[in-house]
């Protein structure tokens, strides 16, 4: 078990609504990355946060946004939800100084959009 926690575990939303997912990083880690994992697929990089700023973004539209707080926890916000946003959303933490790419994942939030 990693020390990365995510909430909520499951979420059901209606198309057009907005959602906020939360992540607490592992102790000693200051970098948080978010991934989207569709059923039967590998995780896809959404973006990464370091020192409260976005530090790299994947091919996701602007309605996917995030925040990082001074305690290194993070939020993922998705506006105007679409049916295709249904997926497992994973948060991963890493230490920017030691190994920014050595990432430890949380259990994920399962989002269903109806």
Partner 1 sequence: GENVEQHPSTLSVQEGDSAVIKCTYSDSASNYFPWYKQELGKGPQLIIDIRSNVGEKKDQRIAVTLNKTAKHFSLHITETQPEDSAVYFCAANYNQGGKLIFGQGTELSVKP
Query: Which chain residues interact with partner 1 by CB under 8 A?
Result: 2, 4, 31, 33, 35, 40-45, 48, 50, 55-56, 58, 90, 94, 96, 100-108
Q: In angstroms, rounded to a whole number, what is the distance separating the alpha carbons of residues 27 and 25?
A: 6
Please, which residue, 8 or 16, has the CB nearer to partner 1?
A: 8
Coil, helix or strand at residue 79: coil
Q: Are 58 and 70 in contact (CB under 8 A)?
A: no
Please, which residue, 15 or 51, has the CB nearer to partner 1?
A: 51
In whole angstroms, the minimum distance from the beta carbon of 16 to partner 1 comes to: 28
In whole angstroms, the minimum distance from the beta carbon of 91 to partner 1 comes to: 8
Please, which residue, 50 or 86, has the CB nearer to partner 1?
A: 50
State whether the Cα torsion 91-64-88-111 is positive or negative: positive
In whole angstroms, the minimum distance from the beta carbon of 31 to partner 1 comes to: 6
């Amino acid at each position: 078990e990693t020390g990365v926690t995510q909430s909520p575990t499951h979420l059901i939303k209606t198309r057009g609504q907005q959602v906020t997912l939360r992540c607490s990083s592992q102790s000693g880690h200051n970098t948080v990355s978010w991934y989207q994992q569709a059923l039967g697929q590998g995780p896809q990089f959404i973006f990464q946060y370091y020192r409260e700023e976005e530090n790299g973004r994947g091919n996701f539209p602007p309605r996917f946004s995030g925040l990082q707080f001074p305690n290194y926890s993070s939020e993922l916000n998705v506006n105007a939800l679409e049916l295709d946003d249904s997926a497992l959303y994973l948060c991963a933490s890493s230490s920017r100084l030691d190994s920014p790419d050595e990432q430890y994942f949380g259990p994920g939030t399962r989002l269903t959009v109806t």
